[in-house]
Amino acid sequence: MTLIALTFHHGIDPGSGRKNTPMGLLETQVHHLLKAQQRQQAIPPWPHALTMGRLVSRALRLRRSALIQTGCLPPTYGPSYLLPCLLSDQPIRLVTTAKRKQDLEHTILPALEKDLKGNDPKLRIIWPAIITPAQWLRESLARACQPSPALTAIEQVEYLEDWTRDFLSHHLDWGTLQPLFAQTPQSQDKALTHWSRLSQSLFARPVNPHGFYPLDGEELQDLNQAVTEQLTISQGENAIKQENIRKIQRFWQFWQEQTDNHLLWAEVNRQQGKISLHVSPVNVQPWLANIWQNSDQGQGDFVGENQAAFVLIGSFLDAEKTAPTYCKTLGLGDLLCLKFSPHRLQDGLTIYQPDRLPLPNTPAFQTTLLTEIERILTEIMAVQPDTFVVILLDDLPLKAQLGSQLAAKFGSGVKVEPSPSLAPGILVAGWQYWCAQREQFPPPALLILGTLPIPSLENPLVAKRVQHHKRHHQDWFRDYLLPVALKDLQQAVLPLRESGGWLAILDDRVNSRSYGREVLKALAPYGKTNYFDPHHLPKVINGVHSATN
């Protein structure tokens, strides 16, 4: 994010040394400051910066919740909500990731405050209280029915469902379980028998490439009996063992309370001979709905002077402007929704899609995919050997095979999900890895989609969630699988919109399935071609890709 000197137009009392920004003037002031910023930027400004700045200011002034889909990354949309947060005369909480929190506190906000103070040394800037999602969830869920007067801005809410599920999950790792498998007094023989039988059953399971093993049948009975026996003999133990027992108790309590709303699974480390147990909710809506209920979301048209409100900001949340699927999943009510579209000229994608590729579920797909990727890379390396290319697919055996085959032909520059410090020339990765790590890499000149990011039913946890939707007579594909795929797809291509890189789609379901239209709609604006020319890719200048004219 480029920070520049800002000039004030409204709302400052130079002689008072205090911020004097009546909420009614906030929209006007933020608008002028963002305009001043844009005039001094060397690069074209984000076209929606002014609109978003006014919208966030209005939401804060009226204490009305809003949901904003920006279509870009936080460094691009950041100034549009940070300025209202800094200039508001109301206390504001800002919820963001731990890494982003560190960047804001140590780099972004100090630089922004310095620019503001450069125009008025007596100006008093009040930072928002920056907290992590876990801190916010802990505080908000602890209040339950107690309303909070705070105005809250939450960034990167495309991950809010995952943050909430992770926060509510309970884990029994090997450090907790191992003492229970060790030599125990005779009074614990029953518990030990059930723990051991559960462990043996899990190690006897066929190897699953995902490493996840949902518990069922006798395994559930053994777990229930082991926990029950363990809790009855937990008195009088030492402090360390008591803490382990409390972990087991919380795990068991959540499992019992969420009878029809839980995922229960084990992870098995066969090399180390260890297991761990996990339980998490399928649907996080009941918990989040309680939080929204204490805001304007639960108060209808009445908004009190100290009414809580939320500004939820994400890159891509839903295919629709009103985000119906996203709001249903998170328990959101009627709120102002805004979706910014990528600029047709600045942010349009170029999509390469060859004709008549076999479908992923056919025998010919794997061979054809490997051949097509090799051909594309060979053409690129002949023109520009330093080009950074990312290949995404979630088929674990195919991903490993592709990495090995490409490394044999193109050398050590091919990496399969490496540490970001090991900058590859060709990166082979899964969707989850790329979406989590993409900011650590330069924007790719070419992003190759081996398969669409539709969660695979071969993943036992995905299959369990699908079963949950089926039991409740829900459309498991359009309520779960497709929204996840569209969100991951949009997240993955965000760097291409800023770098001018190409997108290659080698999954022909985009053409042959009815949902292919929704996939392409989520990628708009774009231009499509069935001819690949490596000369049209962004050029590498000093290790950075620069879009061609």
Enter the tokens of residue 327. 């709001």
**pLDDT of 383 higher than 80:** yes
Taking residues 355-364, report their average pLDDT: 91
Least confident of 113-122, 345-354, 464-473: 113-122
Q: Indicate the burial class of 200 (C-beta count within 10 angstroms; 0-12, 13-18, 19 or more).
A: exposed
**pLDDT of 546 higher than 70:** no
Q: Indicate the burial class of 241 (C-beta count within 10 angstroms; 0-12, 13-18, 19 or more).
A: middle
Enter the tokens of residue 179. 């003492």
* Cβ-proximal residues to 189 (8 Å cutoff; 6+ apart), any chain: none
Residue type, 259: T
Least confident of 242-251, 341-350, 363-372: 341-350
* CA dihedral over 405, 409, 412, 413, signed as positive or negative: negative
Residue type, 520: L
**pLDDT of 1 higher than 60:** no
On average, the pLDDT of the chain sits at: 84
Q: Where are the alpha helices (DSSP H) in 475-535?
A: 476, 482-499, 509-512, 516-523
Contact 123, 117 (CB under 8 A): yes
Enter the tokens of residue 150. 């705070």
Which of the four pLDDT bands, split at 50, 70 and 90, describes residue 436?
confident
**pLDDT of 14 higher than 50:** no
> Would residue 327 be called left, alpha or beta, if left means φ above 0 and alpha means ψ between -120 and 50 degrees?
alpha
Interhelix angle 133-143/285-293, rounded to 10 degrees, is 70
Which of the four pLDDT bands, split at 50, 70 and 90, describes residue 237?
low
Nearest CA to 285 out of 337, 333, 336 is that of 333
Reported as a single tens digit per residue, the pLDDT across 151-200 is 999 999 999 999 999 999 999 987 787 776 664 555 567 778 888 899 89
Q: Which residue has the higher pLDDT, 68 or 536?
A: 68
Percent of the chain that is helix, strand, coil (3-state, to 5) = 50, 15, 35
Q: What is residue 304's predicted lDDT score, i.e. its pLDDT?
A: 57
**pLDDT of 479 higher than 80:** yes
Q: What is residue 311's predicted lDDT score, i.e. its pLDDT?
A: 96
Taking residues 200-204, report their average pLDDT: 92
Which of the four pLDDT bands, split at 50, 70 and 90, describes residue 5?
very low
**pLDDT of 545 higher than 80:** no
Taking residues 72-97, report their average pLDDT: 91
All domains of the chain, ordered by start, with CATH?
Answer: 23-166+286-339 (3.40.50), 168-281 (no CATH), 349-546 (3.40.50.300)
Residue type, 488: D
Which pTM does this prediction carry? Answer: 0.87
Reported as a single tens digit per residue, the pLDDT across 295-351 is 776 555 545 566 789 999 999 999 889 999 999 999 998 899 999 988 776 778 999
Which helix (H) or strand (E) segment is 38 a member of? helix 23-39
